[in-house]
Structure 1
């Protein structure tokens, strides 16, 4: 695990994230963040680290919304939005939102999925920070970026707890800046 920044958050991840081999299928090592979420100090540190991607070098908030991807992006994205003083928008799996949506299908590291966002969740011109737990193949982040664009908004940055260096996540998302607390 390479510590990238925000040493308090990186130390919490190193101490509290548990590897679960062969979940959800053989060959996949799942990064279980539940012990991190249960630890107030650790959770506070990672929320602070992720929120830094929504601020400029002077600490001024430079985003209008935080978008969290189902499901762990919800858990992390909502407190990041609160820390930044902006709204939170969930991106859900297909069929979970009650009104008209934009939808994008994409490949996961171990399957396929479709994500949706409500059509009126983001206003044209809004600046958006995407938040998730892991950047792996980049499929979820790229699909979410496409959903943000479908609403007329702009993804300004992506903030994740962990980036898996052995998978091509950054290549899938193009030139959107990525901030990772740790690189595995």
Structure 2
């Protein structure tokens, strides 16, 4: 299946003034309700990363699971889950990061990665880059190397792609707004 930018844009719904006035939320729900759209994005990402030196796919809580899980399956790679605090049942390490108003944190199992592992981080979108940077720090703390961050959508005006780049993590997205 060939990547169709017009199809992708048609399957991402714009919700004005949500979650607060002045914000346009990019809703990927219609994309995942379309088997053709879902197949297209997973196949496109799989083709991009098939020949890369990647040993694991890292999926970020929660919409990143929608991208990371099928991509890991398609590429035959292990999936590493990055969750919000208190959701993982085994020994974890935590990385806190700043939000516009407050802070948040991500956790990963201590045995999820080891030295020499090379990880592709997958999420639904790149906004400020805080969550992806936190996941990258967790990777590095476990001895693994985040190779790239990938997403369906990039919101360049929020600076996340540039932030990732400044942290030594290239990024790739299928579209931007």
TM (norm. structure 2) is: 0.91
Q: For 1:17 and 1:44, locate their aligned partners in 2 and report how far apart those are by CA, in whole Å.
A: 15
Gaps of 5+ in 2: none
- Other structure's SS at 1:132 match: strand
- Other structure's SS at 2:106 match: strand
Gaps of 5+ in 1: 1-5
- Conservation of the 8 A alpha-carbon contact between 1:50 and 1:160: no
TM (norm. structure 1) is: 0.88
Which of 158, 166, 171 is equivalent to 2:157? 166
The CA deviation string for residues 102-141 of structure 1, in whole angstroms up to 9 with x for no partner, is 1111123565311100110112210100011110101011
Matched, 1:153 2:144: yes
Which of 73, 78, 83 is equivalent to 2:69? 78
Q: RCO higher in 1 or 2 (8 Å CA, sep ≥ 6)?
A: 1
Which of 77, 91, 95 is equivalent to 2:82? 91
**Aligned Cα RMSD in Å?**
1.8
- Other structure's SS at 1:133 match: strand
The corresponding residue for 1:3 is none
- Conservation of the 8 A alpha-carbon contact between 1:135 and 1:163: yes
- Other structure's SS at 2:53 match: coil
Matched, 1:21 2:12: no
Q: CA deviation at 1:13?
A: 2.1
Give aligned pairs, total: 175
| Stretch moving more, 97-106 or 7-16 | 7-16
| Stretch moving more, 173-182 or 89-98 | 173-182
Q: For 1:103 and 1:9, locate their aligned partners in 2 and report how far apart those are by CA, in whole Å.
A: 38
Which of 104, 116, 119 is equivalent to 2:107? 116
The corresponding residue for 1:39 is 34
Q: Which aligned runs of 4 or more in structure 1 are off by greater than 4 angstroms?
A: none
Q: For 1:66 and 1:115, locate their aligned partners in 2 and report how far apart those are by CA, in whole Å.
A: 16
